[in-house]
């Protein structure tokens, strides 16, 4: 189902699409590729929304900083100094996080209106990111396909080609709150700090005071970053977990988030080598700190400046492809 959701200040219409299959209902916006709601049942069969968001377009435009449910690009996470070298040339980006570039710059993918085409059980979002957009080189043709499978799992496939060497690291920035709190403007959502996270990551990337990786891949043993056997998320996290599986051609399950109060379980399978765990400590009004948990599947922060990290370089003639699947169940 497609409906008008609102209009931007320049007159551009924004539409909302509804997908429904096998007990899962997802609402997405053409603005920012935003996942506005994901409704799934709890252990008693009662449906509830499990992502944070706003009820109207004005909320997203006025409060872009939390990136609620948004499609992030060209580069998710931080690039130190808002610059990176590639093939002997230093590219300067738009700094929007102190001196650094965060989530694609001042006007990344999350603030663009995407072309939306229905596909079986889903949608395909597409746009062309011009050469030099936010300082990134190359004309990038990007498509993002979101579908619900026969089990009600939400799959997101990112694909892209470029006409010049560039870097690319897209993700989805949903904040999960499995208690089933409705996203609404003007009221804080119920906390997610009591959720239990299990993640197959034996290492993490330590960061400096500006949340830029030091370059070390540190063992999680004996630290609060050890989620291998499962532990409460709590608060105080904005860190990349290094997934044991590395980069894979097909999605591999790497994480499980569980809410004991509702019985809802979220599983995450991905082709990506990392997952940024963010516990929404600085999410801001109308949400309370810890209102949701972001599990951003992606390559590592600042990879363009870290040759020892998995590469995010995309070259002409190559086809970028990344896939993440969010599964839903109860126990």
299 is catalytic: no
- Contact present, 54 and 42 (Cβ < 8 Å): no
Measured distance CA(42)–CA(259) in Å, rounded: 10
Distance CA 111, CA 173 (A): 13
Q: What value, to the nearest 5°, has the Cα angle with vertex 242 and ends 105 and 178?
A: 75
Beta bridge partners of residue 265, listed in sequence order:
258, 329
Q: Could you give the C-alpha distances from 261 to 45, 178, 181, 308, in angstroms and in order?
A: 13, 9, 12, 41
Contact 303, 242 (CB under 8 A): no
Active-site residue identified among 134, 296, 299, 323:
296
**How many other CB atoms are found less than 10 A from the CB of residue 33?**
29
The sign one gets for the Cα dihedral 324, 240, 253, 195 is negative
The residue from 173, 195, 239, 299 that is catalytic is 173
Q: Is 173 in the active site?
A: yes
Catalytic residues: 173, 296
């Amino acid at each position: 189902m497609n409906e008008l959701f609102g209009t931007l200040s320049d007159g551009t219409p924004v539409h909302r699409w509804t997908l429904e299959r096998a007990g899962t209902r997802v609402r997405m916006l053409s603005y920012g590729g935003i996942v506005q709601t994901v409704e799934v049942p709890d252990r008693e069969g009662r449906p509830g929304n499990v992502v944070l968001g706003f009820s109207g377009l004005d909320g997203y435009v006025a409060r872009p900083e939390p990136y609620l449910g948004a499609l992030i690009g060209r580069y998710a996470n931080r690039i130190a100094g808002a610059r990176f070298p590639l093939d002997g040339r230093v590219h300067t980006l738009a700094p929007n996080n102190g001196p650094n570039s965060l989530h694609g710059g001042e006007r990344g993918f999350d603030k663009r209106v995407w072309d939306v085409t229905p596909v079986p059980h889903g949608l395909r979002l597409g746009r062309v990111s011009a050469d030099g957009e936010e300082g990134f080189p190359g004309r990038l043709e990007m498509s993002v396909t979101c579908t619900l499978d026969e089990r009600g799992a939400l799959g997101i496939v990112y694909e892209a080609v470029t006409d010049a060497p560039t870097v690319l690291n897209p993700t989805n920035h949903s904040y999960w709150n499995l208690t089933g709190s409705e996203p609404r403007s003007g009221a804080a959502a119920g906390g997610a700090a009591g959720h239990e996270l299990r993640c197959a990551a034996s290492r993490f990337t330590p960061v400096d005071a500006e949340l830029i990786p030091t370059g070390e891949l540190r063992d999680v043993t004996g630290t609060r970053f050890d989620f291998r056997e499962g532990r409460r998320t709590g608060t105080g996290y904005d860190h990349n977990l290094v997934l044991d599986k590395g980069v894979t051609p097909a999605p591999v399950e790497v994480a499980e988030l569980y809410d004991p109060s509702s019985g809802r379980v979220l599983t995450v399978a991905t082709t990506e080598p990392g997952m940024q765990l963010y516990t929404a400590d600085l999410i801001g009004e109308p949400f309370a700190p810890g209102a949701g948990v972001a599990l951003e599947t992606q390559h590592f922060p600042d990879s363009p400046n870290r040759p020892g990290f998995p590469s995010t370089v995309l070259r002409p003639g190559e086809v970028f492809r990344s896939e993440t699947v969010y599964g839903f169940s109860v126990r």
